[in-house]
Amino acid sequence: MTFQPPPPGAYEALMQFMYQAPIGLVQTTLDGDIVMINPMSAQLLMPLSPCGNLLNLFDVLSPLAPNLRELAAGAAPPGQVVCDRWRLALPDAQRRPGMPNALNLHLLRLDDTHLMATLSDATLDVQREQQAIAAQLHAATREDRLTAMPNRTALVERIDRELGRQQDEAGHGFAVVLFNADRFERINLMLGKPIGDAVLRLMASRILSVAHALQPGSAWTARLGGDEFAVVLGETSASLLAERTLEALARPYLIGDLEVHLTASAGATTASHSEQSAEELLQDATLAMQDAKMSGGSRYRAFDASMRECAQRRAIVEADLRQALAEGQLFVVYQPIIDLRTQALAGAEALVRWRHPERGIVPPIEFIEVAEATGLIGLLGEWMLNESCRQLVEWQRTLGALAPGYVSVNLSRAQITEPLIVDAVARALAMTGLPPASLQLEVTESLAAQGDGIRSRLVELKSLGLTLALDDFGTGYSSLASLHEMPIDVIKIDRSFVMDAVSSAHHRVLIDAVVMVARSLGMRTVAEGIETAEQQALLSRLECDRGQGYFISRPLAANDAGAWFAARREELELID
């Protein structure tokens, strides 16, 4: 191909072309001195050169590309690219509205003496890239990493949209159902976090598949964090979804060779009016879920307004109880326990009471549960232990042989599951100087029947030298046949049996059986809640070892209890 000289007028045409080109073209010397520049280049470079001086390209660009001059000097053969599509962004201070704030630069060694630069406006490209990054970030902040489900933020947005729809479309109803595994921390603790994560992923996929099978395309799932999941769906399907999902979640989870078992609880709420906020709806569903858990877990509850009142009451009790502990409003009452054969004093059960500044004396049933739910039971229980042990030591000192042989202190579930309980009991004994054999701890039947962890905790406690009693026997799940597996010394037969014993042969047979099995295992029996002489005589005939109840004595404040103990032997001598 031979070079064709430009036809007449072509030079002007070329100049015109350069003049109007929508891209910046600059020709410079090897050192950057501008030889030719078209208007687009001037327009793009002007914001970089506030004094309007466009003499040297490298000088103008130096704030954005300080090493351009060296790079260009190093580019040897003509035709070599010095830099290819560099993105040069203007510092914020130099940005002006309507002016480019980012440039694309391409620099080429043209021949032995010249460089050729092309410049274009990259403002839109930068904007598009930033939007893409923002969209990715937005998606990432709305996705749960572990399960790839939408997260809590996304859930709140989704509920907000549903609430908006409810405002626009009459009759649009929806429900939020929350799922939470029962005692999931056990899995992380015992099997490790990787197994816990694997279980969570499987839970997510089960929830997803139940939801989609029930409402294809419209049910929407999310993970709120931890072991908590949510489904948003049409309001009429909430209970069906909850039941099916709970069933699905209770199936064993196969992870490698491991088979993990768990149950979950569910709470649901339906949006009743559009003035509710997403957070309020989530709170209601959470209250329903907590109610399901407090009723024993592995069940579903729909929200009703009384749950909110209950929660508010609990919060008030919690705050008051903290104050009670700090200000010494708690005190202990002691209920005498007698030997049913000799009628002599055997021991005393310590029961907590609260002298509330406004409500008067509050019974434990109104605050033990709150103390358990809020973790205050640890402090309360430790205080009870110390105070009861201290009191018995004092009675031993002042009453001598007339003092009760032991004090029996109730432990609640939350205390037993806490490993530090063993230290706390040992400390109470050491600090007060009470001989361990003078301390009895009462645990409820349902608790003692549970897993190996609890059993070994009870064995540890027993090894301190104290005795263990199984409280409220007959109300829980354990059977006579399983008694021999429990590390206990005393069985307390629940008041409900004692109450009916006089009128019901069935109850008499049951008590008889408990007494016989206990005796065969070397355990003692205590009848709780003896309210009449007839009941006491009957229990004595059934050879129950000990008894306590209003007929013998109501629980008494320490001073009154001391006086009762002191008078007991004299009373018995008078009876004789």
Element (DSSP H or E) covering residue 470: strand 467-473
Residue 36 to residue 571: CA distance in whole angstroms? 123
352 binds ligand C2E, rule: CB under 6 A: yes
410 binds Mg ion, rule: CB under 5 A: yes
Provide, rounded to whole angstroms, the least separation between the CB of residue 158 and ligand C2E: 42
Q: 3-state secondary structure string, 415-467?
A: HHCCCCHHHHHHHHHHHHCCCHHHEEEEEEHHHHCCCHHHHHHHHHHHCCCCE
445 binds Mg ion, rule: CB under 5 A: no
Provide, rounded to whole angstroms, the least separation between the CB of residue 409 and ligand C2E: 6
182 binds Mg ion, rule: CB under 5 A: no
Nearer to ligand C2E by Cβ, of 103 and 380: the residue is 380
Reference 461, options 492, 484, 436, 490; nearest CA is: 436
Q: Which stretch binds ligand C2E (CB under 6 A): 31-39, 111-119, 480-488, 525-533?
A: 525-533
Residue 132 to residue 124: CA distance in whole angstroms? 12
User: Would you say 476 and 444 are in contact if contact means Cβ atoms under 8 Å apart?
Assistant: yes
Residue 41 to residue 117: CA distance in whole angstroms? 9
331 binds ligand C2E, rule: CB under 6 A: no
Residue at token pair 């990432």: 140
Provide, rounded to whole angstroms, the least separation between the CB of residue 438 and ligand C2E: 17
Q: Which does 182 bind (CB under 5 to 8 A by kind): ligand C2E, Mg ion, none?
A: none
Nearer to ligand C2E by Cβ, of 495 and 508: the residue is 495
Residue 357 to residue 567: CA distance in whole angstroms? 33
442 binds Mg ion, rule: CB under 5 A: yes
472 binds ligand C2E, rule: CB under 6 A: yes
Q: Which stretch binds ligand C2E (CB under 6 A): 83-91, 107-115, 165-173, 364-372?
A: 364-372
Provide, rounded to whole angstroms, the least separation between the CB of residue 408 and ligand C2E: 8
Q: Which stretch binds ligand C2E (CB under 6 A): 61-69, 143-151, 209-217, 526-534?
A: 526-534
Residue 349 to residue 430: CA distance in whole angstroms? 20
410 binds ligand C2E, rule: CB under 6 A: yes
Q: What share of the chain is helix, strand, coil (3-state, %, to 5)?
A: 50, 25, 30
531 binds ligand C2E, rule: CB under 6 A: yes
Provide, rounded to whole angstroms, the least separation between the CB of residue 215 and ligand C2E: 45
Reference 377, options 331, 333, 434, 318; nearest CA is: 318
549 binds ligand C2E, rule: CB under 6 A: yes
Q: Enter the tokens of residue 172.
A: 């649009």
Element (DSSP H or E) covering residue 16: helix 10-20
Number of residues this chain uses to bind ligand C2E (CB under 6 A):
24
State which amino acid sits at residue 354: W
Choose which of 100, 196, 404, 555 interacts with ligand C2E (CB under 6 A): 555
State which amino acid sits at residue 87: R
Provide, rounded to whole angstroms, the least separation between the CB of residue 521 and ligand C2E: 21
Q: Which stretch binds Mg ion (CB under 5 A): 13-21, 63-71, 133-141, 522-530?
A: 522-530
335 binds ligand C2E, rule: CB under 6 A: yes
Nearer to ligand C2E by Cβ, of 166 and 548: the residue is 548
DSSP states along 243-254:
HHHHHHHTS-EE
User: Would you say 526 and 542 are in contact if contact means Cβ atoms under 8 Å apart?
Assistant: no
Q: Which of residues 150-189 bind ligand C2E (CB under 6 A)?
A: none
Choose which of 101, 386, 412, 440 interacts with ligand C2E (CB under 6 A): 412
368 binds ligand C2E, rule: CB under 6 A: yes
DSSP states along 140-197:
HTTB-TTT-SB-HHHHHHHHHHHHHHHHHSTT--EEEEEEEETTTHHHHHHH-HHHHH
Reading across the β-sheet that carries 81-89, which strands appear in turn?
Answer: 34-37, 24-29, 114-121, 102-109, 81-89
471 binds Mg ion, rule: CB under 5 A: yes
Residues in contact with ligand C2E by CB under 6 A are 335, 351-352, 363-365, 368, 381, 384, 410-412, 442, 471-472, 495, 528-531, 548-550, 555
